[in-house]
Amino acid sequence: MTNLEERGHLLTEQINPESLNLDRLSSLELVELFNQEDQKAVAAVANAKLQLSTAIECISTQLNQGGRLFYIGAGTSGRLGVLDAAECPPTFCTPPELVQGIIAGGAGALLRSSEDLEDSTHDGAAAIAQRQINQLDVVVGITAGGTTPFVHGAIAAARQRGAITIFIACVPAEQVSCSADIDIRLLTGAEILAGSTRLKAGTATKLALNILSTGVMVKLGKVYGNRMVDVAVTNQKLRDRALRILQDLTNLSREASDSLLERSGKWVKLALLMHWTGLEKTAGTQLLEEHQGNLRLAVHTYQARQS
């Protein structure tokens, strides 16, 4: 018989006393129980606020220096990382290589469960080598139960290459340790369905990744106020959003906003700069480049030069 590690002590594998009669609850009682337990996901993220804020600062610093952000995981954790990475280009107009998701089993594992592929530390290390990760990059390992060999192999390999490493797990460090630069623990407790970490643990992980990626993009100047001024205008919905941003921030009519958007090459940030400064597209683009794409700094600099 294979020597199988006992995992019953892990927080994510324990039995939830609130759901012992799960199979006897009415549909309404099921919903109420889920809602009650899901509050713990929000609380778990709040309890990790210092580590999350440190991670935002660290990631934004590395990306400003030319680094990349990688999420790596298996199963639900891997899918959540891939999802967050995939949503950065349309939301913030980032190049696809800036934020990347790596899942054990590759693209096929996004649609079909490939949980057996998470048991190889070698595969995790190979994924790091394949992407030529270096000292400018940040690797975020995501594993709800904390033990996934694929993730630990990737973290170890990334550290050897000098990358900044971040570990996200839903078990306390005394149960599973990891030698990462930043250790984020989202302690959501036992699941309603014992061991099913796609529930509270998955919810908390999604919340944390939302905070990380959005926080980093704010720091990189991808946001003005609370508007996504780097939105990629690639469909009718996003064009409408771009026009509404321009209308709200400039008081221009929809028609004038549409004309301004076209003159800017469909780049909301540049359109705003052009409107506020009177600069044309080439000069505005150059000013933004001088300030690493930070619209507020670019406008401030222009105004200071004019005074």
Mean pLDDT by 10 residues, the chain (307 residues): 67 93 98 97 98 98 97 95 96 95 88 69 95 98 95 97 98 95 98 96 98 97 94 92 96 97 96 96 96 94 90
pLDDT of residue 5: 72
* Catalytic residue flag (residue 290): no
pLDDT of residue 303: 93
Catalytic residue among 87, 97, 262, 280: 87
Q: Which amino acid is at 183?
A: D
pLDDT of residue 1: 37
Catalytic residue among 32, 118, 191, 262: 118
The structural domains of the chain, ordered by start, are: 11-219 (3.40.50.10490), 236-306 (1.10.8.1080)
- Between CA 245 and CA 182 the distance in angstroms is 36
| Tokens describing residue 79 | 């899918």
Contact 131, 98 (CB under 8 A): no
Three-state SS at 136: coil
| Tokens describing residue 63 | 């990306």
Q: What is the torsional sign of CA 170, 175, 176, 179? A: positive
- Between CA 39 and CA 53 the distance in angstroms is 21
* Catalytic residue flag (residue 13): no
Contact 170, 12 (CB under 8 A): yes
